[in-house]
């Protein structure tokens, strides 16, 4: 079974477009391209990855799809389309002919309208994804979990995956309301969860693997081992820890599970979800 990193990014750094990468994150104010990740993955015993959009444009889709040429360790792409556009079905039909485009994502965490995903135009776009075999990555903060649950219930045939365990407030030690809403979302059998993006929600310079244990307890109790998948969030993770350390958080925690369950978390579930 392939070992898959279900969530990482590539970019050619642009200080204007990538203004979210502020000076506090200087370590990632540079280009990150496939040859570098190929080395990192091999070093960590991983076979492949899913590359996720880092810019909300169809130019980004073309960029990511172009990177797959000659880099067969990139097993799939999660791109971006304007789900609210009048021509959304035309765009989905277009991407259905690209073998490696597996799904789409919108940066809902950054929207002023916290419930944008429940607007009629957005839901119309979501309603068409299943027809073309596309998945949807849910990128949100904890205050939006209740909206994600409503969305998942409304589209039971659509495959959703929650990115970064919804970015709980790990640095502040908050867990209760997030925990309760994770359980509600996980009650939807069409929703998976990426065990990713945790180190950037902690104190970047003062965390240990134990920092994340109680959050992982919640996630694995809620989603189980059949709907969870490891993602590094490389290179964003580098602001708080290198690839080896980030992977070790999940590897150490999952050592309590059977070898088969670990294989699913580190590749099998991503392969199934994204049809890699």
Residues 218-248 have pLDDT tens digits of 999 999 999 999 999 999 999 999 999 999 9
- Asked if 226 contacts 191 with a C-beta cutoff of 8 angstroms, the reply is no
Instruction: Give the span between the Cα atoms of 193 and 184, in whole angstroms.
Output: 13
Residues 5-37 have pLDDT tens digits of 999 999 999 998 999 999 899 999 999 999 999
CATH number at residue 135: 3.20.20.140
Q: What domain range is 144 assigned to?
A: 4-274
Residues 34-82 have pLDDT tens digits of 999 999 999 999 999 999 999 999 999 999 999 999 999 999 999 999 9
Split into its structural domains, the chain has a count of 1
- Asked if 231 contacts 265 with a C-beta cutoff of 8 angstroms, the reply is no
State the pTM of this model: 0.97
Instruction: Give the span between the Cα atoms of 160 and 98, in whole angstroms.
Output: 20
**Residue 39: CB atoms within 10 Å:** 10
Mean per-residue pLDDT over the chain, rounded: 97
pLDDT of residue 180: 98
């Amino acid at each position: 079974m392939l070992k898959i990193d279900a969530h990482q990014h590539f970019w050619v750094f642009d200080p204007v477009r990538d203004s979210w990468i502020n000076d506090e994150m200087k370590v990632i104010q540079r280009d990150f391209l496939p040859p570098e990740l190929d080395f990192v993955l091999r070093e960590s015993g991983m076979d492949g990855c899913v590359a996720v959009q880092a810019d909300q444009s169809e130019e980004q889709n073309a960029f990511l799809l172009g990177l797959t040429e000659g880099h067969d360790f990139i097993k799939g792409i999660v791109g971006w389309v304007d789900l609210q556009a009048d021509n959304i079905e035309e765009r989905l039909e277009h991407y259905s002919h690209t073998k490696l485009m597996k799904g789409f994502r919108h940066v809902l965490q950054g929207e002023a309208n916290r419930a944008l995903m429940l607007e009629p135009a957005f839901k119309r776009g979501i309603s068409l994804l299943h027809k073309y075999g596309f998945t949807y990555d849910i990128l949100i903060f904890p205050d939006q979990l209740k909206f994600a649950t409503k969305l998942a219930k409304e589209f039971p045939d659509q495959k959703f995956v929650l990115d970064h365990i919804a970015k709980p407030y790990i640095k502040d030690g908050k867990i209760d309301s997030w925990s309760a809403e994770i359980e509600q979302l996980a009650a939807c059998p069409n929703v998976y969860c990426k065990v990713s993006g945790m180190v950037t929600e902690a104190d970047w310079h003062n965390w240990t693997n134990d920092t994340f244990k109680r959050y992982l307890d919640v996630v694995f109790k809620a989603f189980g081992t059949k709907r969870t998948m490891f993602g590094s969030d490389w290179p964003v993770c580098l602001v708080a820890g290198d690839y080896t350390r980030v992977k070790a958080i999940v590897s150490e925690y999952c050592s309590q599970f059977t070898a088969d369950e670990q294989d699913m978390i580190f590749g099998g579930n991503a392969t199934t979800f994204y049809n890699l």
